[in-house]
Structure formats: C-alpha cells, structure tokens
A and B are shown apart, each in its own frame.
Chain A
Amino acid sequence: MEVLGFSRVFRLRVFMSIPFWLLPALLSMSLFGGAVFLPKLAMRSLPPLQLIVYHAFFFFLSSLVVLGFYGFHLEFDPRGILLAVAVGVFATLGQIFYYVSLRHGPVAPVVVISTLYPLVVTALAVMFLKEIPTPQQWLGIVTGIGAIILAAAENRT
C-alpha cells in the first residue's frame, strides 16, 4: 500500500511539474503539421498566391467563429490592435516572400533559411523580453533548430 501511495504521489508531482503551456504548444505543433500539409494538396489545383487570398478569407471566417465561441467579446487596446494587425500582415508577407523565393531559387536553401524563424524569435525574446532559457531549453532550441534544418533540407515542396 505504501508503495502504491508513493507511486501516486510521484505521478501527481510529475503531472504538477508539467508547465501549463506545454499541452497547448504540443496541440498547436500537431495542428500546424496538418495546416502545412493540406496546402500541398490544394496547390495541385490552385496557384500559391491565390491560395493566400482564399486562406485569408477562410482564416477570417474561422476567427469569427472562435470569437463567437467567446461570446463575440472583442477587447480594444489601440497599441495591441495595431501590433496584432501587424502580426497578420507579417505572416502573410512572409508567405508571399516564401513563394517568391521558391519561384526563383533552389528549394532546399530557401526552405532552410525561412524555417529558421525560431532563431529570430529567440534573439528578439532575449533582447527585448529578457527571456533567458534554461540550459536544457537552450539545448532543446539547438536540437530543435537542427531537426528543422534536417527536415527542411529534405523538403522538396
């Protein structure tokens, strides 16, 4: 019985030590995998730049549905709104430049360069938010970047 009790406490401690952000981050990763995979199929019948227009339209509709789920409660903060709109602008501009560089350049280096954006995020977070990852997390970032480079180097789409 004591062993069972220890086991339960141990499992509870392990569960409690999991950071809150980990589960949504993993769900986001899995969903992004699907979201990135599907346009490969759509590009068989639609040009990439037209996909961007369609994607923006459906993204808007879907974000409205999400907003509806939260009771259409939209918060206002001028600086936040400006930056959030900029987030959308940067995402779409990045997508356009990605297609442009793929059109003119070799696939592997273009994909590798563009998928290194977590490095930019890390640099900005360290500089402006004073976020200092733990040594394990640094190692995780380095191995993650390595994994991204390997996957991108093989990517031919």
Chain B
Amino acid sequence: MTNETQPPSSWLLPAVLTLVFWGLWGFLPKIVLQTLPPESVLFYESLGNFLIALPLFVHFRFRLKTDARGVGICGLSAVISVIAVLFLYIALRQGPASVVVTLTSLYSIVAVTLAWMFLKEKISRLQMLSILLSLVSIALLAS
C-alpha cells in the first residue's frame, strides 16, 4: 500500500462501497438462513467468492506468487474464516442480526491482542479504551 494520499474522490467511493458491500454481507445471511442451513449457505457463499476471484485470477494471467509461508498462512486464515462464518450463521439463525453482527465485528480487539502477543505491537491508550468499550458492549449486547 502506498502512503501517497490522493484526493478523497479517488478513495472515498471505494471506501463507502466497502461499507455497503460488507453491510450486505452481514445482513443477507439473516434472510438466506430462513430457507437454507448454515453449512449450505457457507458452500454457496464460497461459490460467490469464486465468481469474483476467478476474473482476478485471469487478470493475473493464472500466475500467482507462490511463497509457501504466505500461501500457508492464507490457507490457515481461510480455514479459520470458514469456521468463524459457520458460527456467525449459527448465531444469526437465532439472534437479531444487528446485535449478532455488531458483536462479531468486535473481532478487532482479538486482532489487536494477537498482534500484541505475537508481533510485539504496542497497545496504545486508544486501543486500550477500545478494548474496554468492546467488553462493555459485549456485556450490553448479551443482556
């Protein structure tokens, strides 16, 4: 990622599109899970991922960098993602979408903690406050 910042017109639209697409990603499963079980939704979702990843693969002319460590970590991340999404769908089937999605999106505190533990990244005061707020939020959402 380059550090050269360009005018908002070049990054604001993609940032807002990210917000909208991820919002739809969080919301639509609540409707889909009314007719399909979580494991089926997960499988069809993976096909949807492919619909976008395949043109990218073509764009790269079927040549990807093959760093074993990077690919291995990516694979592990995908496996964990699948289990996380499965649990998300199990929760979404029963719980309110707004509450469940907000709760699961607090994952950043886990990421910050892992970065502190394994990458020795420092936790700033803001991040500490964020972790505390997250814990308060979890307690309130679970009420």
The 8 A CB mask of B16-51 against A (1 = contact, 0 = none) is 111111111111111110111101111111111111
A62 to B78, Cβ gap below 8 A? yes
Q: How large is the interface on A (under 10, 10 to 19, 20 to 34, 35 or more residues)?
A: 35 or more
Inside 8 A of A133's CB, which chain B residues have their CB?
A: 96, 98-99
For residue A9, CB closer than 8 A to chain B, the reply is: no
Alpha-carbon separation in the docked complex, A87 to B25 (Å): 5
For residue A27, CB closer than 8 A to chain B, the reply is: yes
Inside 8 A of A83's CB, which chain B residues have their CB?
A: 28, 31-32
Our pick among B26, B43, B69 for the contact of A118 (Cβ within 8 Å) is B26
A90 to B25, Cβ gap below 8 A? yes
Our pick among A49, A55, A104 for the contact of B14 (Cβ within 8 Å) is A104
A36 to B22, Cβ gap below 8 A? no
For residue A85, CB closer than 8 A to chain B, the reply is: yes
A56 to B32, Cβ gap below 8 A? no
Q: Chain B interface secondary structure, helix, strand, loop or mixed?
A: helix
* B48 shortest CB reach to chain A, Å: 2
B18 to A140, Cβ gap below 8 A? no
B22 to A105, Cβ gap below 8 A? no
Q: How large is the interface on B (under 10, 10 to 19, 20 to 34, 35 or more residues)?
A: 35 or more
Inside 8 A of B32's CB, which chain A residues have their CB?
A: 80, 83-84, 87
B51 to A105, Cβ gap below 8 A? no
B137 to A150, Cβ gap below 8 A? no
Inside 8 A of B111's CB, which chain A residues have their CB?
A: 33-34, 36-37
* A18 shortest CB reach to chain B, Å: 7
* B102 shortest CB reach to chain A, Å: 4
Interface residues of B in 65-96 (CB under 8 A from A): 65, 67, 69-71, 73-88, 90-96
Alpha-carbon separation in the docked complex, A97 to B18 (Å): 5
Which A residues lie at the B interface, using CB under 8 A? Answer: 18-22, 24-67, 69-70, 73-75, 77, 79-81, 83-107, 109-110, 113-126, 128-129, 131, 133-134, 136-137, 139-141, 143-148, 150-155
Add 13 more A-B contacts to A84-B45, A88-B45, A117-B25 (CB < 8 A).
Answer: A21-B92, A25-B88, A29-B110, A53-B56, A80-B44, A83-B31, A83-B32, A84-B28, A104-B11, A117-B101, A120-B22, A147-B106, A147-B134
